Structure 1
Amino acid sequence: MEEQHIALITDFIDGALTEDAKLTFDKLVAEGQIDMVEVNALANLKSEVVNMNTPEPSAELKVDFYKMLSAEQAKQPTIRPSILDRLNELVFGHMLGKMVFGITLLVLGLVVGRNFMNNPYQSEISNLNGQMIEMKEMMMMAMLEKESVSDRLKGIQMSSELSSTNQKVIEALFLTLDNDKSANVRIAALNTLAQYANDPQIREGLINSISQQTSPLVQMALATLMVDLQEKKAVDEFNSILNDEFTPEEVKTSLKERIEKIM
């Protein structure tokens, strides 16, 4: 989503487009410069924020909050970044960019106004971070299901911004590795999963994925990874490929060379 289109998208969500602006908007959508998946996700988020039944925080409450925030930053200047820095780092890596950042600040203000007197602000920030992670997950899943290879590759890139302990992300990456039509997308998923291969569950999943691959490119990439990991459990999986009559001879030769480095 391009920054120069933000005002146009905002007016679309608000139902405030002029006739000329609507023609421009429709043209950008048709050209793929504006993604309606992202626009609809933003519209849903904005609707949820607007519909929150939350009182406006008082001026005194705002002052107290920022005093506490400043005090906390002063106590740990080199250990943890400011709240706004952390939000900025989290949100600006997201495809919705500055638009979501603005809404995030609005949500933060509403949450503080509702719960600040009863809960430490750290827990509210944690909840907000959780909501942003969920939105990233949603966007990643939407991108991985698109027809365009480049869009699916963007989805893989988005997944790398999420934690390796996120089970939804791991499952989506393995689903892509085992089933995507494009060898390039599969390899991108493999490269992301390979970063976490020290995790026993992920390593086991990578071994099991060997038998799911028919593309020589992906088979070679997996073989190279297993050599790097010196994973002996992978040998039996590759032997099945070597014994398959449909595996090209040149592929068998290359795989054998790699497998010998594991033994």
Structure 2
Amino acid sequence: MSRYGKAGMEIWRNSKLSSRLKQEQKEGKILSRKEWLFIKTTDKDLLILIPYFIWFCLPIIGYTMIIFAALYPAYLPSTFITPAVSEKIQVEDKQYRNRICTPLFTYFSNQLPSEEERKKWQEKEDNGHPNLILSQQKLILTTFNLNNLKRQELLQIGGFLQLQLLQVLPAFLIKYRVTQQLQFLQEDDHYLQAELPNLQPSEKHQACLARGLYPSPKTPHDHLLNQWLQLSSQDVLLAFFWSVSLLHNTTKKTN
């Protein structure tokens, strides 16, 4: 309980600092990526905390919130998540992405307008350079529409984007969360474009994970992020398609 109390107080302190940063931004200050992410994270934590607080205040059943928090830590505000739990969540995210990248890859390929283009897509081996599949991705954009996706496909895309989505959520809420996350990445890309050379390795690593990118000796952080930014500057969905394709081909080679 004391840990949860300290985490709650940290959110309170963060909210005050976040408010001050927002005020400074209104007065003309240009925020750094770190400050912008801090505001976004704090706002998200506050939104998550509200239902937990109401739940905890309910007579008797409020204590079940503690059990839920222990079983599903990924649904907690960021201040409640310990480094060990965070590492576990990252491992689970990668395992989930490995499972869904092939169904997503197949779904995207089915959006291509002709059998010939679908065959090219399926046979294409991506070596990490986005131009290899850029033409196919642009063709997918002509037919791809979040409004036409089924609930299961929206859940898979949301999971790939590291959204913690309850299976019982209606499709329109899942679509809203997916759209918001894509917009968040697009906005973050503007900061990355300006600050990438000066970011710490840990910041680059987190930026990669948020985009479904997993660095290796052959494809370090900077390489992957620069490729993502190149595509995102045209359309964030292009970058997303590439990320799914890259993980699909990596998974296929290791199996």
TM-score normalised over the length of structure 1:
0.29
The structure that has the greater radius of gyration is 1
Q: Point out which structure has higher relative CO (alpha carbons under 8 A, 6+ apart).
A: 2
User: TM-score, normalized by length of structure 2?
Assistant: 0.29
